[in-house]
Amino acid sequence: MPLTHPETYLADLNDAQREAVLTTEGPLLVIAGAGSGKTRVLTHRVAHLLAACGVEPSEVLAITFTNKAAGEMRERIESMLGPVARAIWILTFHAACGRILRREAPRLGYRSNFTIYDQADQIRLVKQCLEELERDPKRFVPRGIHAQISNAKNQLVGPEEYAARVASFYDQTVADVYGLYQRRLFASNAVDFDDLLMLTVDVLARFPEARERWAKTFRYILVDEYQDTNYAQYELLKLLTGTHGNLMVVGDPDQSIYAFRGADIRNILEFERDFPGTRSIALEQNYRSTNHILGAANAVIAHNRERKEKRLWSELGAGEPVHVVELEDEHAEARFVAAEIAGLVELGYSRREIAVVYRTNAQSRVLEDVLVRQGIDYQVIGGPRFYERAEIKDALSYLQVIDNPYDAVSLLRIANRPRRGLGDTSLARLQSFADGEGISLWEALGRAEEAGLALASLRAAQSFRSLLQSSMAGALDMTVSEVVERTLERSGYLEALEAERTIEARGRIENLEELVGVAREYEDAAEEPSLSSFLQEVSLYSDQDALRDDDGSGQVTLLTLHNAKGLEFRAVFMIGVEEGIFPHSRSVEEGGVEEERRLCYVGMTRAKERLTLTHASRRSLYGRSDANLPSRFLDELPREGVERERLAPASWSGYGARREIAPRAEVPVLSTGDNVRHHTLGAGIVTRIEADGVVTVRFEDGAERRLMLEYAPLERI
């Protein structure tokens, strides 16, 4: 039974928030400015539905933007209501569609254990299609073709419809590839990210009994970050809510930053028209930032023409002025930010309360160098991802094939990994045999002698196939983590790595061990653990989800503006605020400046107390040094509450540098391969030593860090 009562959870809401929570029936649009407590509204509203309206947990569908946001929401609801929260579907669009599709896939001819291809797999497949169609890969760049296909899918335009609309030779090629690409996916029993949405809409639109079942299941649907939904998601919501209309969406048009992947800001602007009878509520009180920060953010976003007027206000006082600082170049910028961070830490800020945000991932590199030298712990969100590492993808490909042998992309990936004498020529022979016979690559593998493989390759193919077959049989009565371990051993993959006897190989083994750990965690958490659902879950895991709540004194967070959405920090540094970088030159060319401005608004409103924007007068890009003008967004800042300064090198060099942190008296003597411990980063292994006292350590989480031996709290273990 619910442990909570309306009078307790309604008490900590303001009037607008309370109204949003209590409006349970019919379409509801909540325009929630940055920091206005929308998560609180969402969680309280779910709690209210369950605790006071007699709604069952299984009747609620709550859509969030990331898995991490979903987890947080679930946690908060659980703390209010107890374990009933676990039964609620709180998921991303993609995860929710994945689950629906698992049950409905047979209607479309897919099996329910379909594989989800990530971006790399998708591009690979596009490339294969281009090769098969014999199109010039110079003229038709796989990445570009893929982007076209992805856009089409977000608009729910299937291959036939696309082909019918062709207007140029380039389009024709896209259409041809699109058709072949879908056939290849289907034959592999695989879907891509966009298919999750498109196919779910397809199945609900074409099979009324399916639609009715799901619409009846989810009597209450809540959607967070509605401003970033695309057409397919909009259609999905219409299909699911058509009968009851109990759809609540929360969003902020000023924070719409995903047009490049199909998000359509009109979804939120026209919600009232699309869903007649909508009640609209605006949340304009900001509980996060001081007024100088809000004033600056408001002034910038006011320059957008396509927007609804909205003004955030806060009771948190004027606060510190916003700082705009011009530096010599990107190195000076990085040193300045590092020095400022050191100063804030002295003021009592925890490193985890500080973030540096930038437009593109590449900008983190220079900063990382300086932070390492200064001994400032940091974490980068969005660098090379765990699940994109070669060894992890290899291991997952094994699992994919064991789960779904028709998955040709994964099968090709692991066919010769580890080396078993089944090279490109043999695989090409098998592939063309499969195409000729109209069978899958997996089936062709079973008829390798007919495909005309050389004797050695034939043997390799046969033993590879029997290895997979016995793994498939074994997978039926093993836990997921056991399957992972056994597969890595029996395939010889681990053995091959061990035989390398290099530090790199050892790091890979550690990463694979981490994957086993992930599988164990999954087993503990999942209601009905299975290999299929494990793979699907992992396929939808994102970067932001990896943002860890670290311990100890914390780490400074480095992340892109996109990744910063939904987060907040006491102090925020926004770097590289220059024309060409931010707004990005390509956005300027393509008329996307308003979206860039929204991105700027998102970044600024992450700051609670201190906001610093920096730009460099010179910056090297592509190895060439260029002069950039300050960003137009800086011109749009108000006069009041903003302080501008220009720092010549001499005026601050040395400021905040080494004297903040004294070198250690005793420096450990290390050599490559030593096991070490860092007081916040944990245990790791030394992979490289440089002459100037810089050591590279690979930590247990797989991350490699360059550390100054003299300053980094490293000890040998």
Q: Looking at the annotation, which residues are catalytic? A: 38-39, 224-225, 255, 606
The answer to whether the beta carbons of residues 392 and 402 sit under 8 Å apart is: no
Instruction: Give least dist CB 650 to DNA, A.
Output: 26
Rounded distance, CA 294 to CA 292, Å? 5
Rounded distance, CA 605 to CA 165, Å? 42
Task: Find, among 392, 633, 404, the residue nearest to 507 by Cα.
Answer: 392
485-501 CB burial, b ≥16 within 10 A, e <16: bebbebbebbeebeeee
Is 360 a binder of DNA (CB under 7 A)? yes
CA-based R_g, the chain, Å: 27
Task: Find, among 398, 404, 400, the residue nearest to 420 by Cα.
Answer: 398
Instruction: Give least dist CB 360 to DNA, A.
Output: 4
Instruction: Give least dist CB 352 to DNA, A.
Output: 20
Q: Stretches 272-280, 312-320, 324-332, 555-563: which one binds DNA (CB under 7 A)?
A: 555-563
Instruction: Give least dist CB 82 to DNA, A.
Output: 27
Residue 141 in tokens: 């760049």
**675-678 and 714-716 as β-strands: parallel, antiparallel, unpaired?**
antiparallel
Output helix, strand, coil percentages for the chain, rounded to the nearest 5. 50, 15, 30
**For DNA, the closer CB: 500 or 645:** 500
Q: Stretches 137-145, 200-208, 344-352, 689-697: which one binds DNA (CB under 7 A)?
A: 137-145
Strand partners, 221: 61, 247
Residue 183 in tokens: 């056939």
**For DNA, the closer CB: 308 or 586:** 586
Which residues from 412-471 bind DNA, rule CB under 7 A? 416, 419, 421-426, 457
Is 217 a binder of DNA (CB under 7 A)? no
**For DNA, the closer CB: 165 or 586:** 586
Rounded distance, CA 621 to CA 618, Å? 10
Per-residue interface string for the shown chain with DNA, residues 557-596, x marking contact by CB under 7 A: ---x-xx--------------------xxxx--x-x----
Neighbouring C-beta atoms of residue 188, cutoff 10 Å = 25
Rounded distance, CA 533 to CA 136, Å? 39
Instruction: Give least dist CB 384 to DNA, A.
Output: 8
Among 66, 128, 291, 440, binds DNA (CB under 7 A): 66
Q: Stretches 404-412, 467-475, 540-548, 684-692: which one binds DNA (CB under 7 A)?
A: 540-548
**For DNA, the closer CB: 362 or 683:** 362
The answer to whether the beta carbons of residues 18 and 10 sit under 8 Å apart is: yes
Does residue 216 sit in helix, strand or coil?
A: helix
Supply φ then ψ for residue 64, to 5 degrees: -120, 175
The distance between the two most distant Cα atoms of the chain, rounded to a whole number of Å, is 80
Rounded distance, CA 572 to CA 634, Å? 16
**For DNA, the closer CB: 146 or 211:** 146
Does residue 249 sit in helix, strand or coil?
A: strand
Neighbouring C-beta atoms of residue 615, cutoff 10 Å = 24
Instruction: Give least dist CB 544 to DNA, A.
Output: 5
**For DNA, the closer CB: 406 or 582:** 582
Rounded distance, CA 351 to CA 556, Å? 5
Residue 493 in tokens: 């993959």
The answer to whether the beta carbons of residues 607 and 289 sit under 8 Å apart is: yes
Per-residue interface string for the shown chain with DNA, residues 146-165, x marking contact by CB under 7 A: ----x---------------
Among 219, 238, 244, 261, binds DNA (CB under 7 A): 261
Strand partners, 559: 357
Neighbouring C-beta atoms of residue 639, cutoff 10 Å = 7
The answer to whether the beta carbons of residues 342 and 374 sit under 8 Å apart is: yes
Task: Find, among 173, 300, 167, the residue nearest to 641 by Cα.
Answer: 300
Instruction: Give least dist CB 296 to DNA, A.
Output: 22
Instruction: Give least dist CB 104 to DNA, A.
Output: 20
Is 361 a binder of DNA (CB under 7 A)? yes
The DSSP H or E segment spanning 49 is helix 38-52
Is 502 a binder of DNA (CB under 7 A)? no
Among 149, 488, 540, 600, binds DNA (CB under 7 A): 540
Is 503 a binder of DNA (CB under 7 A)? no
Residues that bind DNA (rule: CB under 7 A) add up to a total of 47
**For DNA, the closer CB: 438 or 623:** 623
Is 623 a binder of DNA (CB under 7 A)? yes
Per-residue interface string for the shown chain with DNA, residues 166-205, x marking contact by CB under 7 A: ---------------------------xx-----------
Instruction: Give least dist CB 543 to DNA, A.
Output: 5
**For DNA, the closer CB: 91 or 342:** 91
Instruction: Give least dist CB 596 to DNA, A.
Output: 8
Among 4, 432, 542, 617, binds DNA (CB under 7 A): 542
Rounded distance, CA 12 to CA 6, Å? 11
Tell me which residue has tokens 């209309």. 245
The 3 state secondary structure assigned to 337-348 is HHHHHHHHHHCC
**For DNA, the closer CB: 25 or 131:** 131
Is the four-CA dihedral 153, 159, 165, 168 of positive or negative sign?
positive
Q: Stretches 38-46, 88-96, 210-218, 274-282: which one binds DNA (CB under 7 A)?
A: 88-96
Instruction: Give least dist CB 585 to DNA, A.
Output: 7
Residue 442 in tokens: 């997996």
Instruction: Give least dist CB 629 to DNA, A.
Output: 17
The 3 state secondary structure assigned to 106-140 is HHHCCCCCCEEECHHHHHHHHHHHHHHCCCCCCCC
What are the residues binding DNA (CB under 7 A)?
A: 65-67, 92, 94-95, 119, 137-138, 141, 143, 150, 193-194, 258, 260-261, 359-362, 382, 416, 419, 421-426, 457, 540, 542-544, 560, 562-563, 584-587, 590, 592, 621-623
